[in-house]
Amino acid sequence: MSSRLVAVDWGTSSLRGALIDADGRVLEEHSHARGILTVERGAFGDVFQALFGEWMREPGTRCLIAGMAGSKQGWVEAPYCPCPAGLAEVRARVLEIEPDRIAIVPGLAIEHDGVPDVMRGEEVQIFGAMALTGVRDGLFVLPGTHNKWARVEEGRVTGFRTFMTGEFYALLSQHSILARTLDATAPLDEAAFLQGVQRAGNGEGLLHNAFGARTLALFERMPASALSSYLSGVLIGEELRAQSLVAKTRQLVLIGAPALTRRYALALKKVHGSEARTLGSEATWAGLHALSSTH
């Protein structure tokens, strides 16, 4: 019997898989442009077989899937696990698709004053980051299209909030009046980015401060190549302003693509003087391994 794990992160627009041995070592890794939006209802099993059939061939190999594949629009809906939740609670709600062969991890849900909040996939990255860093109390920040800020206490996620920062940046830099004067493809300009972060601290709010990216261009105070960094700073600065949790938290862990975590590290240092530990995609594999090992 194999004790290999096929770990899959099946998101809305992309799909990644890793073949992991019993000790958690990644043996192979693949990405595919087969996010759940590209898969027709009823076709998930076939897509899975085509992409991972080879890895699954060895008897006893198991697969654990995280991400939007467990949503209503995915393969099988895995109902959200309520917070607070640690490895034990999430593991208890892992949903078997093919018993002892393929299973899917539920996301987390929480409610603030009657309004729900959710994550799917990030909880696995958080568990992975805990395993890799040993941090069991802290604030875990996961930048992306819909960023998650999660509070972890004694190894359990006790609270979290979503921020649409990535999506707002895409909308504003591509579809708003700001798109006319900024260069969305320009590389990060750290000075302009930190200028935006600082600007967000004026308390006038995003709806006003975003307009500064328009007028700075209009009065030729900032080149097009710096404006996208400035706008990014205004957005991330606004996100940080809402984090009353940061100051109270000793340990900060950033998980995500380096281009994004770098911006958050810069902004957190500027606003709170905080240093953060940073992890990338390895957190997902470590999280699925952690969920699987004790399953």
Spatial separation of the C-alpha atoms in residues 91 and 247, rounded to whole Å: 31
Smallest distance, a copy of itself to C-beta of residue 157, A:
17
Site for a copy of itself in 94-113 (CB under 8 A): 112-113
Distances (CA, A) of 35 to 103, 138, 241, 267: 18, 31, 33, 31
Smallest distance, a copy of itself to C-beta of residue 263, A:
14
Where b means 16+ CB within 10 Å and e means fewer, 103-128 reads: bbbbbbbbeeeeeebebbbbbbbbbb
Site for a copy of itself in 50-79 (CB under 8 A): none
Q: Does 193 bind a copy of itself (CB under 8 A)?
A: no
Q: Does 22 bind a copy of itself (CB under 8 A)?
A: no
DSSP string, 10-34: E-SS-EEEEEE-TTS-EEEEEEES-
Contact pick of 76, 186, 188, 206 for a copy of itself (by CB under 8 A): 206
Q: Does 162 bind a copy of itself (CB under 8 A)?
A: yes
Spell out the residues 6+ positions from residue 52 whose beta carbon is closer than 8 angstroms to its own.
6, 8, 17, 63
Q: Does 37 bind a copy of itself (CB under 8 A)?
A: no
Binding segment for a copy of itself (CB under 8 A), chosen from 27-35, 124-132, 170-178, 267-275, is 170-178
Collapse the DSSP code of 107 into the 3-class scheme (helix H, G, I; strand E, B; otherwise coil) and give the result: coil
Reference 154, options 132, 120, 130; nearest CA is 130
Binding segment for a copy of itself (CB under 8 A), chosen from 16-24, 135-143, 160-168, 266-274, is 160-168
Site residues, a copy of itself (CB under 8 A): 112-118, 146, 161-165, 167-168, 171-172, 175-177, 199, 202-208, 210-212, 215-216, 218-219, 221, 235, 238-239, 241-242, 244
